A and B are shown apart, each in its own frame.
Chain A
Amino acid sequence: DAKTTQPPSMDCAEGRAANLPCNHSTISGNEYVYWYRQIHSQGPQYIIHGLKNNETNEMASLIITEDRKSSTLILPHATLRDTAVYYCIVLLYSSASKIIFGSGTRLSIRP
């Protein structure tokens, strides 16, 4: 079973920041938080990952709470192309190929 809990769906206005929450209350100390997304009919795409510090790359920011029991993926300026299912995953770095995907959050960007 997936170790994460995400809302099944969210929506966001184009140009605004999309904040996707994820709960992972049973995360262990050496497990990372990964985010992937899957645009319709395509393979999943890696977005970002982190251990305990906040991370930022060209796609998104990842904010992990101090107790590491939850995190938020932030898409700073959402566009229509960001419409996708977003998966929050926790796993050991060494097991990063054996991902257990949950149901994810279906993010809809409205014009």
Chain B
Amino acid sequence: NAGVTQTPKFQVLKTGQSMTLQCAQDMNHNSMYWYRQDPGMGLRLIYYSASEGTTDKGEVPNGYNVSRLNKREFSLRLESAAPSQTSVYFCASSEDPTVNTEAFFGQGTRLTVV
């Protein structure tokens, strides 16, 4: 079992460029999440998908879009990257958060926007 796999691990973008961060989980989890982590701050939720076919905004959705491609895959797209989006991005999944289950995280994508 690979768990949650994110690609790429590192990326440098120029301001205005676009890119898609990929995430896949092999645990048959219903819910998937995208977070960003900045120094001195807690993880902040960008978007989440409670189940296949649904997506919802989190705390900081501006500048991002997501696609729940199927039960396994949840991608995050930056349409026009800005320096403020420099961060470490984590994808996570959980079986069913309504029963308070733990979240499993990928290894992260370190994104720098110059």
Q: Does chain A bind chain B? A: no
